[in-house]
Chains A and B, each alone.
Chain A
């Protein structure tokens, strides 16, 4: 633990010093460039353990602004855990996750690194949205109400504003005519599209998709993927997606990461990683997955 704190402090003190060396005139320009070029999400030696089982082992992963990254790998390889830690649904046992230049679960207080307060967590978390495998819609609310709840109670929108935003987003996902339906009245694909609209209503910078098509009937997968395709084409969103849809990963992502045993075994552009994998384990996995198709 103490080692982790030290490394962490080094990092905080190093950054301003490095920029102080630069010429004063173009300091500002460089700084803004730096912010833009800085990865929006950075995992730094992140470790996650459940008891004796190490799920993620000193993970280092950087995701650039607007980058679309797919995470593939066998089950139990820790790929979903990556998303869940970023959404603060899991505690991390070591390392730091940086979101938009800020540590996610820690803050600096009187020169010491301490676990973040709920307020800090909520502020940083606001930049991230998540769509779940099992939708997790609120069953007692209509599609519209599902999309209005958080904008009203968290962002402080008026009911009218929230309703306009929710209606617009439901249109975007092609469910303009299902606004007043309850989740129980919707198909799996429709539920998942409501869930996407609900996450987007919070205007996140980063969207996490956790096996969003795995719980769907095969013929409903397409409609959900189409929505994600549309989002990535029309909106400036960083997207991080855990998926088993290799075809979609290939077409959608800028980069594919192959996870195995809590580590990134291989990563690269989809054409390279999926078309011509170098690592033996990646090859094995892809062979196994593609054979079953």
Chain B
């Protein structure tokens, strides 16, 4: 028996391709949720009402302090027992998004707090509305420096997608494992998976880097 057999590579390809699509979809959707929800979390944490901001801080802390897999089990397996039925895909992408939203919200919070307090005062003095202040003054200054950290979480989330297998979503690694099981042959499929994760991560970090450069230029930040 050969250690590496190219015929298995070609045979595994369609399986892995299907899985890769699922993995990428889950990553993109999950990260979109993480970004939007993370920003919402961060803005709620800035609330002048102490109870609101403390509650939000506790929720974020809780999500960050428990494993992703546990949260997934909770929604998918515990949920139905208390009458909440959520399809695997929705639950998977949703939990991934919420889990990373907690991390992203910390990045957003740091970025927002880094904006000089004088900017807020200038906005008040110029009578800008709250929304206008956030949208045109604070966020354009806060977001560019956050891009590298957000990019790390994007890649981190991508590498966390295999947990979706635990609630029977056929993402790439699960497909590879099944292929291996069916053929008693793991090396090609698993190696190909690894290669794909590696390449995707490299491409993603290159994209993050150029987004950062572009944003800095666009907003004339150093």
Binding site for B on A (CB under 8 A): 87-89, 118, 122, 125-126, 128-130, 132, 134-140, 149-150, 153-154, 182, 184, 198-199, 202
Identify the stretch in B16-24, B197-205, B214-222 within 8 Å (CB) of chain A at 4 or more residues.
B214-222
Interface of A is mostly: loop
Closest to B117 in A: A136
User: Contact at B125–A89, with CB atoms within 8 Å?
Assistant: yes
Contacts A182-B220, A202-B126, A202-B127 hold; do A153 and B121 have CB atoms under 8 A apart?
no
Given contacts A89-B121, A184-B220, contact A136 B127 (CB under 8 A): no
Q: By DSSP majority rule, is chain B's interface helix, strand, loop, or mixed? A: helix
Q: How many A-B residue pairs have CB under 8 A?
A: 64
Question: Do residues B124 and A153 form an inter-chain contact, with CB atoms below 8 A?
Answer: no
Taking a contact as CB atoms under 8 Å apart, the answer to whether A150 and B221 are in contact is no
Residues on A with beta carbons closer than 8 Å to the beta carbon of B126: 149-150, 154, 198-199, 202
Which B residues have a C-beta under 8 Å from some C-beta of A? 116, 118-119, 121-122, 124-130, 132, 136-137, 140-141, 219-222
Inter-chain pairs besides A89-B124, A199-B126, 16 sampled, C-beta below 8 Å: A87-B121, A87-B124, A88-B124, A125-B127, A128-B125, A132-B118, A132-B121, A132-B122, A136-B116, A136-B121, A138-B119, A138-B141, A139-B221, A150-B126, A154-B127, A154-B132
Which residues from A are CB-within-8-Å of B119? Answer: 136, 138
Could you say which residues of chain B place their CB within 8 Å of the CB of A129? Answer: 125
> Which chain A residues lie closer than 8 Å to B221 at the CB level?
139-140
Which residues on B sit within 8 Å (CB–CB) of A153?
128-129, 132, 136
Q: State in angstroms the CA–CA spacing of A130 and B136 once bound together.
A: 20
Whether A150 touches B128, Cβ cut-off 8 Å, given contacts A136-B116, A140-B140, is: yes
Q: Which residue of chain B is the closest to A87 with respect to CB atoms? A: B125
Cβ–Cβ < 8 Å partners of B220 in chain A: 139-140, 182, 184
